[in-house]
């Protein structure tokens, strides 16, 4: 995605608004956005004090918010997946499921919450992500191009 230079461009403004909203949520209800662990209710784990259930509901809101935004941008289009990309998507999803559960706080949460909290577990997870992503990039994406 092309992006304008300088501080005051829409992409950075909206990214900043995401961060500000996350901090406000922490101030107001003492909770923050959680990524991967939020899906554990789908396998029957609600977490301590139903934390994962709360995060699951937040993330259902994220889908609705993206829907509202894309509809207002006229970017919303129902797209059916091509059959040939399904195996890769299923394998990717399966690996994500393993990754987010093996060590909590591994996923996108590390970038938007864990690292700003200066959490060591998130720093290690990000290092692992770069390595794992790079291996897949070299084996699949780069070899195809």
Partner 1 sequence: MDFKLLLLYGFLFGIGFGFFVQKAGICFAHGLGEIYMGKGKRILRIFLVIFIISTLGFYLSKFIAPELGLKPIGQLRGYGFYNIISGMIFGAGILLNGGCILGTLRQMGEGNLLFFVVFLSFIPGMALIVYVIDPILKQGYQVQNILLPELLAVPQPYVVGSVVILALFWLVMLSRPKKK
**How many chain residues bind partner 1 (CB under 8 A)?**
118
> Smallest distance, Å, CB 60 to partner 1?
6
Smallest gap from Cβ 91 to partner 1, in A, equals 6
At 106, give phi and psi (nearest 5°).
-85, -30
Rounded distance between C-alpha atoms, residue 10 and residue 16, angstroms: 10
46 interacts with partner 1 by CB under 8 A: no
Q: Does 119 bind partner 1 (CB under 8 A)?
A: yes
Report how far residue 122's alpha carbon sits from residue 127's, in angstroms, rounded to the nearest whole number.
9
Backbone angles phi, psi at 117, to 5 degrees: -80, -5
Which residues lie below 8 Å from residue 71, measured CB to CB, with a gap of 6+?
A: none
Near partner 1 by CB under 8 A: residue from 74, 120, 143, 144: 120
Cβ-Cβ contacts under 8 Å for 106 (sequence gap 6 or more): 36, 99, 100, 125, 128, 129
Q: Spell out, one character per residue from 71 to 100, where the chain touches partner 1: x when CB under 8 A holds, - when not.
A: --x-xxxxxxx---xx-xxxxxxxxxxxxx
Residue 53 CB, nearest distance to partner 1 (Å)?
A: 8
Question: Does residue 55 belong to the site contacting partner 1 (CB under 8 A)?
Answer: yes
Residue 88 Cβ vs partner 1, minimum distance, rounded to whole Å: 6
Minimum CB distance to partner 1, residue 106 (Å): 5
Find the binder of partner 1 among 59, 74, 84, 144 (CB under 8 A).
59
CB of 53 closer than 8 Å to CB of 46: yes
């Amino acid at each position: 995605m092309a992006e304008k230079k300088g501080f005051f461009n829409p992409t950075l403004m909206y990214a900043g608004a995401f961060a500000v909203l996350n901090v406000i949520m922490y101030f107001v209800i003492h909770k923050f956005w959680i990524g991967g662990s939020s899906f554990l209710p789908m396998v029957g784990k609600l977490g301590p004090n139903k934390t994962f259930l709360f995060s699951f509901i937040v993330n259902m809101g994220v889908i609705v918010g993206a829907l509202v935004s894309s509809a207002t941008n006229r970017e919303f289009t129902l797209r059916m997946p091509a059959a040939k990309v399904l195996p890769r998507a299923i394998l990717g999803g399966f690996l994500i499921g393993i990754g987010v559960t093996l060590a909590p706080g591994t996923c996108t949460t590390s970038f938007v919450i864990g690292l700003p909290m200066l959490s060591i577990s998130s720093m290690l997870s990000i290092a692992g992500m770069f390595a794992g992503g790079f291996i897949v990039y070299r084996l699949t994406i780069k070899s195809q191009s």
